Amino acid sequence: QVQLVESGGGLVQAGGSLRLSCAASGSIFSINVMAWYRQAPGKQRELVASITSGGSSNYADSDKGRFTISRDNAKNTVYLQMNSLKPEDTAVYYCYADLSTRYSGRYFRYWGQGTQVTVSS
């Protein structure tokens, strides 16, 4: 069974930094897109950043210049470096991966359990 496990969340002051990590484990054959989403209370889940297997990345407009997404394909891990954090960044951050397993050649979408990021003013 494939699992996505996030780490690195926590409480920081405005202007501080955090680095989130998400490691995919299981019988993984290949990973296409990996991404970070976030969901604040009472709001819809939104895309923060995504990165393709080739390293092409996209960011939400509010996060450009502050956040950086990267991945280590050998470790099946995606990272999100968050700098200059603002209180409005407070949310549960979810890891996402579009991947195929060694038992199936089809790609499926997987989600992590989420990690809380709280930014105080």
pLDDT tens column, 13-42? 999 999 999 999 999 999 999 999 999 999
Asked if 76 and 53 count as a contact pair (C-beta separation under 8 A), the reply is: no
What is the rounded average pLDDT of the residues 89-95? 98
Q: What is the pLDDT of residue 105?
A: 81
- The CA–CA distances, whole Å, from 44 to 10, 38, 47, 92, 109 equal 21, 8, 10, 11, 18
Mean pLDDT, the chain, whole residue set:
95
Percent of residues, the chain, with pLDDT higher than 90:
92
Average pLDDT over residues 69-96: 97
pLDDT at 26: 94
Band of pLDDT at residue 6, cut at 50, 70 and 90: very high
pLDDT value for 11: 98
Output the pLDDT for position 62.
86
Q: Scanning the structure block, which residue is given the tokens 């019988």?
A: 27
Contact of 119 with 63, CB cutoff 8 Å:
no
Whether residue 95 is predicted with pLDDT greater than 90 in this model: the reply is yes
User: What CA–CA distance (Å, rounded) separates 108 from 81?
Assistant: 26
Closest CA to 39 of 109, 111, 120, 121: 111
